[in-house]
Amino acid sequence: MPQDVSFGPRTPYPLQVTKPAILVVDDDATVLSAIERDLRKQYRSDYRIMKADSGADALEAAKELAARNTTVALFLVDQRMPVMSGTELLREVMKLHPGSRRVLLTAYADTDAAIAGINEVALDHYLMKPWDPPDERLYPVLDDLLNEWRARTIPAFDGIRVLGSQWSSPSYAAKDFLSRNRVPYEWVDLDSDAQARTLAESLTNDLTRLPIILFPDGTHLIAPSNAVLAEKAGLQTHGHLPFYDVIVIGAGPAGLANAVYAASEGLRTILVESQATGGQAGTSSLIENYLGFPSGVTGADLAQRATTQARRFGAELITGQEVMTIRREDPYRVVVLSDGSELTGYCVVITTGMTSRTLECSGIENFFGVGVYYGAAMTEAARYRDKDVLVIGGANSAGQGALFFSRHARKVTMLIRGHSLEATMSQYLIDRIAETPNIEVMTRVEVRGVKGDKYLESVVVKTVDSEEQHTIAASAMFIFIGALPHADRFAKILERDEAGFILTGADLPSEYGRPRGWNLERQPLTFETSIPGVFAAGDVRSGSNHRVAAAVGEGSATIHSVHRYLGTV
């Protein structure tokens, strides 16, 4: 089996190697008990001795052992059994346990079948009944076979196994979910592992539904949701308390910072995360602009440290559950989770972040990080000193990016679909771009392709008004085509800006000196949304500046408003 094993410090299913099995099969109860007794006497300290009184039962046991990834060292099988003979049974089980040793128990009359079995099922030995005394006629033969088996066998992985295909995105998503949540697992590629494929076929007749996830207790899940997988993998998926002071939605930098401060200040705090802690930052290979880490810090490390810190202060963390909506039942706020369960508390802090809008263009994924970037990848700017770069998009963020890169690059070309920047960009930025000699704006064009060997070398663009295409040489392409805030779930209940980001505090649209629909004497607190006691911080908040430090700062600062709010309920 492929040995792509992922480990982490939190292991609901720790690595442990169970004893390999010896499975003895005979339909005669007296013979079965006798051989089982003799095997236990000699081998029970190193092997798990199992028995079955028919071929069908033995086959079921073999399947279950394969599903648990328990290795079978030896099958010791009677030849003459009704329905399924010993050799027929061995033919089936060798598909699931090809490395096992196979021994037939035969009477004198079965010798021919045993000899035939040597070739047919790669029989290692046949033992004539009776085998007394075992010290002379049983143990020496089995000792040799088992010693040889041990010398050739790598102990099986005894944790969660993900059986999937590299071409199945749900398989990738399950691996990503487990590894980002630090649950150890073994990846088994069904496209290249025939033995695993046999096992998968014994569990389902629809191999288009992947992955199949096998657990050490012998159970399996097929294409499970994150919530189901999280629960089975031993992650917390429901709150332990009936009531919380603060319910934080989203465990990116903003949510984690909020939970650390809330819990450290004695508030009953729970954090709900649909994927894995760390959010967007958790997927970054190196964050170089976060205060206090002069050599940078990986997103995974930062996320793990913050998660440990939040837990240490007593914050609970639910993983794999998505928040569907928030209900107001004054003075309480009820958070509804994807499995229909609910959390109740006084305050809710929404820190659900955002996703960059992606540019659809064939082959672009091959250049992520080696010429293609989403947003102002400022740490990359120096790499493109005196090179030609492209900025895609015509909004303010693209304008700021273009001005920033113009200080490093030889030439910056902005590609926009519109007729001019006027409709999408602030005038002050348009003026500054016009004053910058190494920025050119190319209008009415869209990106159609990317080219390069190892790194990006050129980009194919098409004019919007015709089919005309041409190629522009460029070492880097910075994409600013907007972001999708994770706030649709709250669209009906909260005020949002035009792009869908959640409005808070003084930014809330006002009517007669108060925010629309606001029925309190006081004005909204900093970071408070249009529902009192519901706050928003980090990338999902309108006006946030989409950086790790900003998210951490907003998440931490929100606690001040939370305390003020709690003083009123």
Ligand X SMILES: Cc1cc2nc3c(=O)[nH]c(=O)nc-3n(C[C@H](O)[C@H](O)[C@H](O)COP(=O)(O)OP(=O)(O)OC[C@H]3O[C@@H](n4cnc5c(N)ncnc54)[C@H](O)[C@@H]3O)c2cc1C
Nearest residue (CB) to ligand X, 86 versus 555: 555
How far apart are the C-alpha atoms of 184 and 162, rounded to whole Å?
10
Nearest residue (CB) to ligand X, 224 versus 353: 353
Q: Output the smallest distance, CB 461 to ligand X, in A.
A: 25
Nearest residue (CB) to ligand X, 117 versus 538: 538
Q: Output the smallest distance, CB 353 to ligand X, in A.
A: 2
Nearest residue (CB) to ligand X, 78 versus 322: 322
Pairing status of strand 372-374 against strand 445-451: unpaired
Nearest residue (CB) to ligand X, 354 versus 450: 354
Nearest residue (CB) to ligand X, 97 versus 486: 486
How far apart are the C-alpha atoms of 161 and 232, rounded to whole Å?
13
Place of tokens 């399950």: 174
Q: Output the smallest distance, CB 381 to ligand X, in A.
A: 12
Pairing status of strand 185-189 against strand 212-214: unpaired
In the complex, which residues of this chain contact ligand X (CB under 6 A)?
249-255, 272-275, 279-281, 283-284, 287-289, 322-323, 351-354, 486, 489, 538-539, 546-549, 551
Degrees to nearest 5, angle at CA 525 with 343 and 322: 25
Q: Output the smallest distance, CB 246 to ligand X, in A.
A: 15
Nearest residue (CB) to ligand X, 268 versus 547: 547
| DSSP state letters, 15-41 | ---PPPEEEEE-S-HHHHHHHHHHHHH
Nearest residue (CB) to ligand X, 283 versus 436: 283
Nearest residue (CB) to ligand X, 173 versus 472: 173
Instruction: Name the nearest CA neighbour of 20 among 78, 86, 65, 67.
Output: 65
How far apart are the C-alpha atoms of 124 and 103, rounded to whole Å?
6
What length is written for the chain?
569
**Cβ neighbours, 10 Å, residue 16:** 10
Nearest residue (CB) to ligand X, 79 versus 351: 351
Place of tokens 């295909």: 165
105 touches 26 (CB < 8 A): yes
Q: Output the smallest distance, CB 272 to ligand X, in A.
A: 5
Place of tokens 């290692």: 124
Residue 353 backbone class (left: φ over 0; alpha: ψ -120 to 50; beta: rest): left
Extract the tokens encoding 528. Answer: 């408070």
Nearest residue (CB) to ligand X, 58 versus 537: 537
How far apart are the C-alpha atoms of 566 and 569, rounded to whole Å?
5
Q: Output the smallest distance, CB 181 to ligand X, in A.
A: 11
Q: Output the smallest distance, CB 538 to ligand X, in A.
A: 2
**Cβ neighbours, 10 Å, residue 191:** 11
Helix (H) or strand (E) holding 5: strand 4-6
Helices (H), 328-443: 396-406, 427-435
How far apart are the C-alpha atoms of 103 and 24, rounded to whole Å?
9
Q: Output the smallest distance, CB 311 to ligand X, in A.
A: 16
Classify 553 as helix, strand or coil.
helix
326 touches 348 (CB < 8 A): yes
Nearest residue (CB) to ligand X, 300 versus 548: 548
Where in 240-301 does DSSP place strands (E)?
244-249, 269-273
How far apart are the C-alpha atoms of 528 and 502, rounded to whole Å?
10
Q: Output the smallest distance, CB 372 to ligand X, in A.
A: 12
Q: Output the smallest distance, CB 250 to ligand X, in A.
A: 3
Q: Output the smallest distance, CB 548 to ligand X, in A.
A: 4
Helix 194-203 × helix 55-67 angle, to 10°: 110
Q: Output the smallest distance, CB 379 to ligand X, in A.
A: 6
